[in-house]
Amino acid sequence: MSSIQLVFQAKIETWSSHGVLERVIQNTSSGAYGFLPATAYINDTNQGKALSTHLPRILQRVAAGSIEELTLSAGGSEAPPLVNLSWGNEPNTLCTLTLEKPLFSGWGTPQGVDELVQLAEKLIADSHAEYAFVHEEEGWFKLHNERFGRLLMIRSCARGPFWLTYYCSAYVHRLGGAAKLLSAPVHRALQLGDGGVLLLSHPEPLHMDEEPQRSELQRLYEYLKSLAPSENKP
């Protein structure tokens, strides 16, 4: 079954200073992100632990620094819906929060799209994201490979656009300001309360690997690359 990924990234210093790990773990466990996980998988192991009994111990281990990857799942270590958190304790480590959900046709409706955008905004706020995206999983993998995994700007975690893309206020400034991003060739552009900008490339997240969506997303990629000053281009 295909799935949709919501991915949020920031440096470990941001996560640590804002208590991101504890907040996201608690919110996931309470069903705040649209599903109730039953099992926790720690440090990339396949042996799950019942979340109902192990949550306090997991939070203790997170605080002690003995966990660097955690998956909270309703259906298995790799079966969505799930939340995966990966981080490290070294300075400037890039941390990633991934929420993966089964893809269904309802996300092609205006109501379904609004729910996805609202969920993304909540997770941007909860994770203090610097860069975020939402895209169908297989399509993301293809785009990532085609772009050779290149960053949009050096000294950042920002990459090219997907169906939904978010750049924090610092990245917006480096890309020439909000006005330029809000003028990007997209279906919808929003400036959030934190000063970051959220771009929605198309009305729905379905069929992004087909034409004309594929070519239109490439044009958006080229537009964003043109905004980065030459000294910031990888």
User: Which pLDDT tens digit goes with each residue over 51-96?
Assistant: 999 999 999 999 998 999 999 999 877 889 999 999 988 889 999 9
Measured CA to CA, the distance from residue 99 to residue 18 in angstroms comes to 20
Is the same domain home to 91 and 182? no
Question: Is residue 28 in some structural domain?
Answer: yes
Is the same domain home to 43 and 115? no
CA 140 to chain CA centroid, nearest Å: 12
Domain count, the chain: 2
Is the same domain home to 128 and 197? yes
Confidence band, pLDDT 50/70/90 cuts, at residue 181: very high
Question: Is residue 233 in some structural domain?
Answer: no
Is the same domain home to 130 and 72? no
Is the same domain home to 114 and 222? yes
Is the same domain home to 169 and 84? no
Peptide bond into 234 cis (omega under 30): no
Question: Is residue 158 in some structural domain?
Answer: yes
CB 197 within 8 A of CB 170: no
Question: Is residue 74 in some structural domain?
Answer: yes
pLDDT over 90 (residue 45): no
Going by the DSSP 8-state scheme, the letter that residue 67 receives in this structure is -
- Give the domain-ending residue among 31, 62, 96: 96
Helix and strand totals (H; E) in the chain: 8, 10
Which domain does 45 fall in, by range?
Answer: 6-96
Is the same domain home to 64 and 117? no
Contacts of 194 (CB under 8 A, 6+ apart): 124, 125, 168, 169
Q: Whole-prediction pTM value?
A: 0.95
Is the same domain home to 87 and 152? no
